[in-house]
Amino acid sequence: MIAGLIFMTIGQSFVSPGAEVVKLPGTYQFTEGPCWVKGDRLIFSDIPASKIYVYDGESVTVWREKTEQANGNTLDSNGVVWSCKHGSRSVDLYDGDKVVKVLLMDFDGKRLNSPNDIAIHKSGAVVFSDPSYGIRADQMELDGKYVYEYLEGKLRQIYKGRNQPNGLVFSPDGKTLYVADSGDSGIDVFEYKPGAELKKTKKFDSPGPDGIRVDKEGRIWAACWDGVNVYSPSGELLENIKFPEQPANLCFGGKDGDVLYVTARKGVYSLKLSVRGVMPGF
């Protein structure tokens, strides 16, 4: 356990009383894409190493190798892992432990930039961000860095990011889409209906947000330059939780969704919470 870390709260803390940050086994190159999957396991990416690891509660082992610099991951209701990849500039599916399917690589005949993070709506619609991290400027074939929606076999651009659209997540009721912009600090908030045009309702400040998730009460949890920040749906900062390294992404896990897992540079950390988070696919 790692003692002495700071929880800056405004009102009630969402950390379980007496809980401390725990470092999972191993040291990595750059961790990302944490996702709780079937079988009570955590998977996470090591982008430069092109590996996805799995943590079973005791040890960490390699789940996938040669992942083309996998980044963000999520789980659908069938237990299939959807993975965004820098190297192949694609969104791939991992169905079970052996089957791999490349799903999306281009839009309107042009290569995607560098798919980064991904979320699945309760309707089955899939949205993912496509910033330019991982490629050079001269490799970009598209005219911007978009958020895409994949629905009923069709891919469309639903939002042109302000700078570098990154983490994204739906509210628990599915009516709101949050998009973090890590290049232009802030979280954009949209009304969302599958297949319809997005309607932006507001933007609230957040210091370099990367991966974002929501808890059961609709609060937004963001991996930021200054730690994990918890916001109300209106954008009010409720708590700042410090970690030994700068967080890049996060997810909820455990049997009840009350464990926060944070990928932070060379390490992965867990923290017991007093609230429950939304776990995609469960």
Residue 282 lies in a domain: no
Q: Is the pLDDT at 168 greater than 60, yes or no? A: yes
In a domain, 11, yes or no: yes
Residue 268 backbone dihedrals phi, psi, to 5 degrees: -130, 135
Q: Which two tokens stand for residue 114?
A: 């560098």
d(CA 125, CA 260): 25
Domain residues for 149? 7-272
**281 inside domain:** no
Residue 2 lies in a domain: no
Residue 22 has pLDDT above 70, yes or no: yes
In-domain check, residue 234: yes
What percent of the chain clears pLDDT 90, i.e. is strictly above it? 93
Residue 4 has pLDDT above 50, yes or no: no
pLDDT computed for residue 2 by the predictor: 58
Distance set, CA 233 to CA 109, 132, 172, 198, 218 (Å): 37, 28, 11, 17, 6
In this predicted structure, what is the pLDDT of residue 96? 77
Contact criterion met (CB below 8 Å) for 221 and 260: yes
Q: Please tell me the pTM assigned to this model.
A: 0.96
Pairing of strands 51-55, 41-46: antiparallel
- Average pLDDT over every residue of 267-274: 98
Give CA separation, 200 vs 44, 164, 179, 192, 239, in Å: 31, 17, 11, 9, 25
Q: Is residue 60 part of a domain?
A: yes
Tell whether 280 is covered by a domain.
Answer: no
How confident is the model over 55-94, as pLDDT tens digits?
999 999 999 999 999 999 999 999 999 999 999 999 999 9
Question: Would you say residue 133 lies in a domain?
Answer: yes
Give strand pairing partners of 156. Answer: 149
CATH number at residue 73: 2.120.10.30
112 pLDDT above the threshold of 50: yes
Domain count along the chain: 1
